[in-house]
Amino acid sequence: SPPDKAPALIVDSKKNGKRKLGPLGYEVGKTTKYNRVLQIINIHKCDSEFQKLATQEAIGEMVARLAGWEHGVRLAQTQVWAKPPGSPPLVFHRDSPYFMFTPDDVVTVWIALDDMDEELGPLEYVRGSHLWGDGRVGSSSSFFQSDSRNLLYSAAAREGIEDAESCLEILSLAGLSAGGLSIHHGKTWHGSGKNASSDRPRRGLGLHFVPAEVKFIKE
């Protein structure tokens, strides 16, 4: 929906209007049942501050240099993941399968919008998983399954990793301050735990870049 048609983010939670829910659907400082994760696609198209951040030349140049893309980059998509207190984990997945381009190269820049304490469920990466085959993909409908690592362990098994639970090296972004960023290959398996905080959100901005010469594919 256009920005002026989007539903209000702040709504009354009582008829008398004395208490209101915040933009993440919870009352700041209190535990609440309103813990649904908020995903905002292409926020840079409706907010000038996010647009300035997402289109910074320095970020694009850094991605092109790291990825070895001689012709530069294109910003394919931006998205905010906002996890309120008590929200569920995000299933381990890859970014590349969700972009229908050729070549299928994707690089994601993830920017922390909050200090990433351990209890907030910071982003986690599986070291070396960008080298795995393409056998397991999953879908967006499975992002919030109760077993957040089931798909990951299945992919690891296809790579001949028998005891994935103990063999995989998981790298956490715990300790990353608000405004800090990480950069990962589009085929890197990653996910995050639940937000175990009772009163703090966990928010991040993802910038998905592709090579400048990409073309859409039919399927």
pLDDT in tens, 7-33: 344 444 444 555 455 554 455 555 555
Residues 124-145: what's their mean pLDDT?
77
Q: Residue 37: how many CA atoms within 13 Å on its side-chain side?
A: 23
Euclidean distance between CA atoms 7 and 97, whole angstroms: 30
Does residue 92 carry a pLDDT above 70? Answer: yes
Q: Which of 214, 210, 215, 216 is nearest to 106 (CA)?
A: 210
Of 42-56, 93-107, 144-158, the range with the lowest mean pLDDT is 144-158
Split at pLDDT 50, 70, 90, the class of 142 is: low
- The predicted pLDDT at position 148 comes to 85
Whether cis (ω within 30° of 0) applies to the bond prior to 103 is: yes
- The predicted pLDDT at position 36 comes to 80
> Whole-prediction pTM value?
0.83
